[in-house]
Amino acid sequence: MSFAITGKTAIVTGGANGIGLAIGRHFVDKGANVVFADMDEASLQKELGDNEEGRSFRYFAGDLREKLTQANLLSAALDAFDGVDILINASRQVIAADPLSDVVDDAVDTLLQQNLLTALRLSQLVARRMIKQSGKQTEGSAGAIINLSCIAARRTTPELLAYSVSTAALDQMTRSLAVALAPHRIRVNGLAFGSVMSNSLKQTLRDNTEYRSEIEAHTPLGRIAAPSELAHAAQYLAADASAFMTGQIMTLDGGRTLIDPVSAPAH
């Protein structure tokens, strides 16, 4: 059973900060080639630097909701590393809104576009490339797609209606693509997280110092996860160690969904 990803090429969306950045950096440390993709070019440059020559990573800035931008991303990965073995859809957006307000309709539309359709279209595009580059091989993995999900898909938090709906749809997309791509030896899995010390959560905790205690009280393991912990799980899903695993939503939430009441914190 191998956890090695050395020499494999991964595209990581949402790679400018938080969980996506942590996963991409971890993969680089483990010997993978990584293309960090994000809309925030300034943050990509700040975190990764301007000089990419001789390094096993590149960064790509653009609006991945656009099909042309997705095609350009794939082309950039192929130009740099000749192929793509792993796609990690880590880009996501959260909008909180009163479910009885007029704005919730727009929030649902926005998040279905950002959190579902963008991941679907990029998965289709990359899967076609994985199938092409696998040629006539009939054994071994032809690729792995990992969708960053959230326990919001299984919880009922009214103000997160739009986010919960988009995340639940992403989980179903994961399962459907897993079945569709299985004959091509491409595995598709999800990674659903609970409270992770992302940039948005850090800001929330700065604004509300009591929020950390509230989150920890609703998490059996009594703490907030570090982004690096999701990176290790993503490596497992990308590696041959999980070669017989597809269509699954792996949950890293410190046990939160085992006990979580509706009134628990949203993060």
With both helix axes pointing from N to C terminus, report the angle between 67-81 and 118-134 in degrees, rounded to the nearest 10.
40
Closest by alpha carbon to 218, among 266, 258, 256, 262? 256
Statement: residue 1 has pLDDT above 70: no
With both helix axes pointing from N to C terminus, report the angle between 161-181 and 118-134 in degrees, rounded to the nearest 10.
20
> What is the per-residue pLDDT across 84-111, written as a single tens digit (0 to 9) for each?
999 999 999 999 999 999 999 999 999 9
Measure the CA–CA gap between 161 and 164, rounded to whole angstroms: 5
Locate 25 and state its tokens.
């950096």
Per the CB < 8 A criterion, the answer to whether 150 and 167 are in contact is: yes
The reported pLDDT for the residue numbered 265 is 61
Residue that is written with structure tokens 């969904």 in the block: 257
The reported pLDDT for the residue numbered 164 is 96
Statement: residue 267 has pLDDT above 70: no
The reported pLDDT for the residue numbered 261 is 59
> What is the per-residue pLDDT across 64-90, written as a single tens digit (0 to 9) for each?
999 999 999 999 999 999 999 999 999
Measure the CA–CA gap between 1 and 43, rounded to whole angstroms: 36
> What is the per-residue pLDDT across 111-163, written as a single tens digit (0 to 9) for each?
999 999 999 999 999 999 999 998 877 788 999 999 999 999 998 889 999 99
The reported pLDDT for the residue numbered 60 is 97
**Parallel, antiparallel, or unpaired: how do β-strands 9-13 and 33-38 relate?**
parallel
Closest by alpha carbon to 127, among 62, 93, 177? 177
* Residues contacting 101, CB < 8 A, separation 6+: none
Locate 202 and state its tokens.
């850090």
Measure the CA–CA gap between 119 and 146, rounded to whole angstroms: 10
- What is the pLDDT confidence band of residue 55, given thresholds at 50, 70 and 90? confident
The reported pLDDT for the residue numbered 260 is 57
CATH topology of domain 9-259: Rossmann fold (3.40.50)
> How do the domains of the chain map onto residue ranges?
9-259
